[in-house]
Structure 1
Amino acid sequence: MGEQKGQLLTDLKYLFKGGVLIANALPVITGFWLAIAFTDYTLGESWGNFLLVLIGSTLVMAGALTLNNWYDVDIDRIMKRTQKRPTVTGNMSLSSVLTIGIVLSIIGIIFIFFVSIESAIYALVGWVTYVIFYTMWSKRRYTMNTIIGSISGAVTPLIGWAVVDDAWHMVPIVVALILFIFQMPHTYAIAIRKYDEYKAANVAMLPVVRGYTVTKWHTTFWIACLIPLPFLITELGMLFVVLSTIIHIGWLILSIVGFFVKDNLKWANGMFKYSVYYLTVMFLMMIVVTI
């Protein structure tokens, strides 16, 4: 019995992509916290609603990721990094996975809707973008799939902010832009690291279709686009602006170094690690400077 429970938990972790869920929860939390900091609302009067939206948004994300697994089972069988998913191992039937994805998505949207219609709209935009426009339409056909998929991640701070107030405010919009742009170099680094797998699965990732050099130019361009953004949210303080600018310039330098290296895999691994630390540090810093 214990082994069965352990296997079930393992299957759910791969089905819901546990790391991705955690990474998406942090911007929701950050968006909510910033809204508290920049409005007249207090943490006490908003905390209960926020918990409902955090649970709801996590369910929506889990539902979208589950439907991604259901739809992509054919290419997941080819790619080594996805072969432990229960849709590939056969530990869960495809019909069960489809049902789980739909049910989680609906319950999540309902949770959010009863707290904030605006948050529910952002969550729905993220779900539709990821499931329909990314997974089912663009992922296998166009290199712009990365840009399309990044929209779904970028709505998360808007979901959190809208629990408290209207998200048409410079701070959440810029935070969403940061998250949107971040995903391009982050995903390109993954695509280079897993080049052979994406090529075997015939997924239209930029390095596979256009090569490493073009991917490095795109990476450098998107990182450069991050540099001006902190100056649009000086409300967070000059310490945040200075530190985030240093972080962005460091990432840009690392990106430029990529044009002169021979070991593309080693460079991509470094870019990937930097991007993971970048996301964590940037969003935690936004919370800390507003405490």
Structure 2
Amino acid sequence: MDTPATYNRSTTTDEVQNSVSLPLTWRDYIEVTKPGIVKSNLIVIVTGFWLASAWSDTFSFLLFLITVVGSSLVMGGSCVLNNYLDRDLDLKMERTKDRIIASGRMSAQFALIYGMSLILIGTTMLGIWANSLAALLGLIGAFIYVVVYTAWMKRTTDLNTVVGAISGAMPPLIGWAAVTGNLEQGAWVLFGFLFIWQIPHFLALAIMKSEDYRAAGYQMLPVVKGFLETKRQILLWTGALVPVSLFLYTVGVVGKIYFVTAAVLGLGWLALAIAGFFAQDVMKWARQMFAYSLVYLIVLCVVMMLNAL
């Protein structure tokens, strides 16, 4: 068994050849948790917590910190296990072949223990200092992401993006549940909003990275059914997102400023999705869709919090 504090240059995941030992740094332990994904999910955790606090007319800064830290540990641990399970296919893709676990710089055995430990610590924090519902939601999200999405569906079906979106929509539920101990109507609208948002967002990314996914053997929609069907699915889900995004106003969680902002940005994204059928440069269009989706989410989350009722 490789020691966790060494780098091991390897040609395969499990058999190390020509190894060069170097000490792991604290950055390596952070990098393997995919901090970009964790940070992007923090905004929706904070949004769920903030809206629930406004809805229930209560706010605890200590509970806020516990929710953020506990959720981050669960998400980070899940990402470590994602890297652990994907290490064989990561070696086949140019952009992922140098990841810490895939390249052997961190041993697979240690990564497994590390990821599970982070999830355990995070759910324990949520269960003890927030509530059992928040902890349970964290575990459900981790299970779907690691077991259902990563270990199973990414390798077997192009429906993996839809199923994976369930785990990605759990963070706002965790934030909401930490405050109220329940999942009121507003929490479920947030879940639906983020669930639908992820699908056109990640399908655009799948188009951008389609050749990498093809080389690795991932069953992503652009690889299995082509760009035209992917564009159709992007249009379908973007169209569905527009009315769902407005439900937060109808259930009394946010005000009119959010309603107008969501309507304008949603119609703008829908127009861009339609433009994809006429795009001469599909990759350029996919990059525009991906960038727009990020701006859309960040702006709406900020407006939600500023316009919370």
Per the TM alignment, residue 102 of structure 1 is displaced from its structure 2 partner at its CA by: 0.8
Partner of 1:56: 70
Per the TM alignment, residue 7 of structure 1 is displaced from its structure 2 partner at its CA by: 6.4
TM, length-normalised to structure 1 = 0.94
Matched position secondary structure for 1:191: helix
Per the TM alignment, residue 61 of structure 1 is displaced from its structure 2 partner at its CA by: 0.4
**Pick aligned residue for 1:27 from 36, 40, 44:** 44
TM, length-normalised to structure 2 = 0.88
**Pick aligned residue for 1:117 from 132, 137, 146:** 132
Write the mapping of 1:20-169 to structure 2, written as runs, cut at 5 A: 20-41=37-58, 43=59, 46-114=60-128, 115-169=130-184
What CA distance in whole angstroms lies between the structure 2 residues aligned with 1:55 and 1:90? 28
What CA distance in whole angstroms lies between the structure 2 residues aligned with 1:151 and 1:209? 21
Partner of 2:268: 250
- The letter for the 1-side match of 2:222 is P
Matched position secondary structure for 1:227: helix
- The letter for the 1-side match of 2:144 is T
Does 2:305 match 1:287? yes
Q: Is the 8 A contact 2:32 2:79 kept in 1?
A: yes
What CA distance in whole angstroms lies between the structure 2 residues aligned with 1:260 and 1:132? 38
Q: Is the 8 A contact 2:69 2:122 kept in 1?
A: yes
- The letter for the 2-side match of 1:96 is F
Q: How many residues are matched?
A: 285
Deviation sequence 1:65-93 (CA, Å, 0-9, x none): 00000010011111122123101232211
Q: Percent same amino acid among aligned pairs?
A: 39
Write the mapping of 1:201-212 to structure 2, written as runs, cut at 5 A: 201-212=216-227
Q: Is the 8 A contact 1:189 1:271 kept in 2?
A: yes
Per the TM alignment, residue 224 of structure 1 is displaced from its structure 2 partner at its CA by: 0.5
Deviation sequence 1:112-132 (CA, Å, 0-9, x none): 111211111111110110011
**Pick aligned residue for 1:18 from 35, 38, 62:** 35
- Residue range with higher mean Cα deviation, 230-239 or 15-24: 230-239
What CA distance in whole angstroms lies between the structure 2 residues aligned with 1:148 and 1:59? 22
Partner of 2:6: none
More helix by share: 1
Per the TM alignment, residue 10 of structure 1 is displaced from its structure 2 partner at its CA by: 4.0
**Pick aligned residue for 1:194 from 203, 209, 213:** 209
- The letter for the 2-side match of 1:11 is D
The structure-2 alpha-carbon separation of the partners of 1:211 and 1:78, relative to structure 1 and needing over 3 Å to count, comes to same
What CA distance in whole angstroms lies between the structure 1 residues aligned with 2:302 and 2:95? 29
Q: Is the 8 A contact 2:176 2:183 kept in 1?
A: no
What CA distance in whole angstroms lies between the structure 2 residues aligned with 1:284 and 1:216? 28
The structure-2 alpha-carbon separation of the partners of 1:86 and 1:48, relative to structure 1 and needing over 3 Å to count, comes to same
- The letter for the 2-side match of 1:31 is G
What CA distance in whole angstroms lies between the structure 2 residues aligned with 1:94 and 1:6? 16
What CA distance in whole angstroms lies between the structure 2 residues aligned with 1:243 and 1:49? 30
What CA distance in whole angstroms lies between the structure 1 residues aligned with 2:300 and 2:230? 24
Per the TM alignment, residue 191 of structure 1 is displaced from its structure 2 partner at its CA by: 0.6
